[in-house]
A and B are shown apart, each in its own frame.
Chain A
Amino acid sequence: MQTEPAPGDDRRDFLKKSCAVCVGGAVGVVPALAGIAVYLDPLRRKADTGLLARVTSLESLPADGTPVMFPIIAIRTDAWNKSIAPVGAVYVRRAKGDQVQAFNVTCPHAGCAVEFQPEKKGYFCPCHNSLFTPEGKRTDGSPSARDLDSLKSEVRANGEVWVQFQNFETGKAHKVAVS
């Protein structure tokens, strides 16, 4: 029993349609927005930066400059947990005199952990074959976009070696700290 729409109904129809779209849209948007807001929360989270960690003592580093790997155990925030846990690892080696050099073990290419291999005379990444000299310099043919990420380190008066641990964004030509 449909009737032909009377002239003038077009406009009322348009109003009805717009209202239906708006109301229908709005009821869906509210829960979606609430969800998305929470989903975006990680953008507010900052990395633990400037973790100063004592890794070793100068005397226990080989005099010939061979790097030694040390885990970095520090206060780690993981969402709702805060604990003393391994947050990463570093290679530390003796440089000239009583200086030390420290590197984050994370390969700047794609994020695997490099491994110092004496027979290759450098840090080798087992994932895509990047090879870095003991001083952390990239060798030819390495896919990594930059040298191994050096970390600030200091040798204190009592011989303790301290490293400021940080992670860096991978795949970039420049070192950018993960923040």
Chain B
Amino acid sequence: MISSRMKPLLDWIDSRTGYRKLTQEVLYENIPGGARWRYVWGSTLTFAFSIQVITGIFLWMAYSASAQTAWESVFYIQFEMAGGWFLRGLHHYTAQVMTILLALHLLQVLIDGAYKAPREFNFWSGLLLLQLTLALSLTGYLLPWDQKGYWATKVATNIVSIVPFIGPDLQKLVVGGPDYGHHTLTRFLALHAGVLPGLIIALIGGHIYFFRRHGIHAKQPLKKPDAKFWPDQVLADAIACLGVLFTVVVLTLITRGAELAAPADAASQFSAARPEWYFLFLFELLKYFPGESEIIGAIVLPGAAVGFMFLMPYLGQWKLGHRFNLAFVFGGLAGAGLLTWMAMKQDNNDPNFQRALRDSHHQAARVIELAKAPSGIPIAGAAVLLREDPYIQGPKLFAKHCASCHRHGGHDGEGNPVKDPQSAADLKGFASREWLAGLLDPAKVDSLHYFGGTKFKDGKMVKWVKKNADEPKEQEQLKSIIAALSAEAQLKSQRDADARDVDIIKQGVKLARGDVACTDCHAFGKPDPDAIAPDLTGYGSRAWLVRFIGNPEHADFYGKRNDRMPLFGEKQILDAKTIGILADWLRGEWYEAPKTAGK
């Protein structure tokens, strides 16, 4: 038999290492009263921590800590690497579950009285482990360098600055400089992946050593005969760990992994800033300590509560003290629960917060779409993709710079009504056939939609349309002119129609220069120094629009007769790039992900 042949070898190994005694001690620990479910929490926490170490190390292999690569590398893990979303999801949800397990473990220890003498060191090391785990959460939340993590970390680290005397310096050390950036990430990563796990491993060693030194604190009365750790308790522990794993895997699968918000941007308001749910009560607490009393809610109270917990083993020696300890912890948990509920309730009932949340999801989805585009993420980082995206920035720019006079589909571009009365054209679909057909419609040309709000209300163009556009013959001709003029814009949405109607467009150009005589006032196709109305050559094209927004007073456009439109480029109200973004948006020119073919 193999075992008889192996025996001399095993004896030799044992004589050199003493492994048998060690195994004996580790596995055959006596459990008074037998294995019980209430003893599983410590093991599930050790298990959860090992999930974090394993998944964390592999995430680390794909992560890059800098302001231009952190979000980008997490994006790559999440959306490009095989199974990356699953790995990240496991890490994310295990962190959440760990917090709950910590609370359960603490409660079990307190209720059973397992924190009392002689187990003080066991309890203290546990309290330290609790705090280190929370510190892991806090540091990990920043690492994706998305808006969520960035703004939540800003709040958390700003609290450091209110520490008397050394606050600002302390904050600089935590943040890695006077502002958030590369060194915030490198420091947080070193803490998250190195310092904190190292301390935790050392403390878990101590925690288990102290635990074994005094044996398990058996819950009285003992209902069953004593048993050994192996296999009785190990089996219970393993089943509990399986439950933890199952929970984490299900959460990961349901949500398809952890969320990734838009890349951090110091200049982009993020009104959906919230910490992780288990820090929400601390966040909410700050609302009740106005002014410089903030330090009480932010540092003194939480510090005192944790400080008090270190004294619990002393108090617990008396029956009344033990009860006080229990009341303290349950009261604290109830208070935290109440604050969390209040914070969530307010957010759920706040339309502005809900809008901010939708906006956040919208931006995240868009930047991910852009990052997945064939052009990919530039070296300058994904924040640039969003900052220069007409689809996201166009509506904002329009609302800010145009909507006090113009409209876009009746609103300000972002879908909000405008307070000021409309006094310039509605630019939705500008230069499209439909838009031009309205302009050349006698019933519409002097409506607010076109010239109605401007000083051209009774101008030559309006008069011409009213006079000529009614006749059936003119209407036929106008159709081809509209096609011709609209083709100048080379709109993406009309590419097919423009290609199809080549002949009509040719005819339209001819008419505009001939019978219908647009060129009496406008230049069209060639420069015309006598033209008094906007140049129709390239009308509505990107180049035309950029020049127009830049300087509507240019002789090619309205010249000196320009009605209140600011000279956005000439007066440097907007830079060239921003005007380009606005023009692209007005023309419906932005990246669209190819539709996934339906079955």
> Known: A109-B294, A112-B155. Contact between A128 and B573, CB under 8 A?
no
**Are A172 and B404 interface neighbours, CB within 8 A?**
no
**Are A60 and B151 interface neighbours, CB within 8 A?**
no
Chain B residues 276-315 with CB under 8 Å of chain A are 283, 286-292, 294-295, 298
Q: Pick the contact of B159 from A43, A105, A110, A112 — CB < 8 Å?
A: A110
A65 interface residue per 8 A CB criterion: no
A81 interface residue per 8 A CB criterion: yes
B172 interface residue per 8 A CB criterion: yes
**Are A169 and B168 interface neighbours, CB within 8 A?**
yes
**Are A117 and B352 interface neighbours, CB within 8 A?**
yes
**Are A126 and B353 interface neighbours, CB within 8 A?**
yes
**Are A171 and B292 interface neighbours, CB within 8 A?**
yes
Q: Pick the contact of B266 from A46, A87, A118 — CB < 8 Å?
A: A87
A22 interface residue per 8 A CB criterion: no
**Are B178 and A143 interface neighbours, CB within 8 A?**
no
Q: Pick the contact of A56 from B179, B266, B573 — CB < 8 Å?
A: B573
Main secondary structure of the interface of A (DSSP, over half): loop
Cα–Cα distance between A73 and B574 once the two chains are bound (Å): 13
B596 interface residue per 8 A CB criterion: no
Chain A residues 99-141 with CB under 8 Å of chain B are 105, 109-113, 115, 117-118, 124, 126-129, 141
Query: Nearest Cβ distance between residue B386 and chain A, in whole angstroms?
Result: 11
With a CB–CB cut-off of 8 A, which chain B residues contact A73? 267
**Are A42 and B269 interface neighbours, CB within 8 A?**
no
Q: Pick the contact of B267 from A72, A78, A117 — CB < 8 Å?
A: A72
**Are A78 and B179 interface neighbours, CB within 8 A?**
yes
Chain A residues 56-77 with CB under 8 Å of chain B are 56-57, 59-60, 62, 68-69, 71-73, 76
B119 interface residue per 8 A CB criterion: no
> Known: A78-B181, A79-B183, A143-B290. Contact between A110 and B270, CB under 8 A?
no
**Are B266 and A143 interface neighbours, CB within 8 A?**
no
B268 interface residue per 8 A CB criterion: yes
With a CB–CB cut-off of 8 A, which chain A residues contact B380? 83
Chain B residues 248-292 with CB under 8 Å of chain A are 265-273, 283, 286-292
With a CB–CB cut-off of 8 A, which chain A residues contact B404? 62
**Are A80 and B182 interface neighbours, CB within 8 A?**
yes
A164 interface residue per 8 A CB criterion: no
A178 interface residue per 8 A CB criterion: yes
A23 interface residue per 8 A CB criterion: no
With a CB–CB cut-off of 8 A, which chain B residues contact A126? 271-273, 352-353, 356
Nearest-neighbor residue (CB-CB) of B67 within chain A = A78
Chain B residues 389-410 with CB under 8 Å of chain A are 400-401, 404
Cα–Cα distance between A145 and B268 once the two chains are bound (Å): 24
Q: Pick the contact of A170 from B158, B287, B352 — CB < 8 Å?
A: B158
Q: Pick the contact of B269 from A46, A115, A129 — CB < 8 Å?
A: A115
Query: Nearest Cβ distance between residue A171 and chain B, in whole angstroms?
Result: 4
Q: Pick the contact of B172 from A45, A69, A142, A173 — CB < 8 Å?
A: A45
B7 interface residue per 8 A CB criterion: no
With a CB–CB cut-off of 8 A, which chain B residues contact A42? 172-173, 175-178, 183
**Are A88 and B266 interface neighbours, CB within 8 A?**
yes
> Known: A54-B572, A143-B287, A171-B159. Contact between A79 and B267, CB under 8 A?
no
Chain B residues 363-403 with CB under 8 Å of chain A are 380, 387, 400-401
A86 interface residue per 8 A CB criterion: yes
Q: Pick the contact of A68 from B169, B288, B400 — CB < 8 Å?
A: B400
Q: Would you list 23 pairs from A and B whose C-beta atoms are within 8 A, ordered by A residue?
A: A39-B173, A42-B173, A42-B175, A42-B176, A42-B177, A42-B183, A45-B178, A60-B573, A72-B267, A79-B176, A79-B181, A83-B380, A109-B294, A112-B154, A112-B270, A113-B271, A115-B269, A118-B419, A126-B352, A126-B353, A171-B159, A171-B294, A176-B168
B residues touching A (Cβ–Cβ < 8 Å)?
67-68, 151, 154-155, 158-159, 161-162, 167-169, 172-173, 175-179, 181-183, 265-273, 283, 286-292, 294-295, 298, 352-353, 356, 380, 387, 400-401, 404, 419, 566, 571-573
Given A81-B67, A115-B271: 12 more A-B contacts, CB < 8 Å: A54-B572, A87-B266, A112-B155, A112-B270, A126-B271, A127-B283, A128-B283, A143-B290, A143-B294, A145-B290, A170-B162, A171-B159
A residues touching B (Cβ–Cβ < 8 Å)?
39-40, 42-43, 45-48, 54, 56-57, 59-60, 62, 68-69, 71-73, 76, 78-81, 83, 86-89, 105, 109-113, 115, 117-118, 124, 126-129, 141-145, 158-160, 167, 169-173, 176, 178-179
10 shortest A-B CB distances, which residue pairs?
Answer: A86-B267, A71-B267, A78-B181, A47-B178, A126-B271, A171-B162, A111-B158, A145-B291, A79-B182, A113-B269
